[in-house]
Amino acid sequence: TAVSRSSDPYKCFGIEGQRRVERRNYFFGDSNYTLAREPELAELINRALVPGAQLDEFNEMELIRIQFLVRGVLQYMQAQHTLWREGALSDDYWRRRLKWTCSFVASQVLNPVWQDEIAQQLVDPNFVREVEAGMKEELLEINMGKNRNGT
């Protein structure tokens, strides 16, 4: 059965549930604040997200930090996915989060961690299907845009 999505994304949770959802939205603010305080971590993430970056460009300690970072982001995004499936987040909000997640795990450096998390069954199969489908959709949109522009 399809989950009903009301205009009030917190309706099914009541006031306490609303507060829990709002606290979860602080993740990106907290992450950005941490990156501002820890320039080495910010630089590591920037290097990992640069198109064409390769795993062999990172030392062992950097790869460990990347793995913990990706795992934390995936746990947060999986929680967002669960909230969306339960009707606590709007479709539009989830689509934006999904698009961000797809581009995050598509990174050549971060994707092996995503694949490892899947292999270890550390992520919900429903979340995996949603992200994998979103990644295919993103790739199709990129390719169609290239074909339209003749590049």
| pLDDT tens readout for residues 7-37 | 444 444 454 555 555 555 555 556 656 666 7
Q: Which of 120, 115, 143 is nearest to 131 (CA)?
A: 115
Pairwise CA distance, residues 44 & 69, whole Å: 10
Specify the pTM: 0.70
| Burial of 49: CB neighbours in 10 Å, binned 0-12, 13-18, 19+ | middle
pLDDT digits (tens, 9 = 90+) for 52-89: 999 999 999 999 999 998 998 899 899 999 999 999 88
Q: Which residues contact 120 (CB under 8 A, 6 or more apart)?
A: none
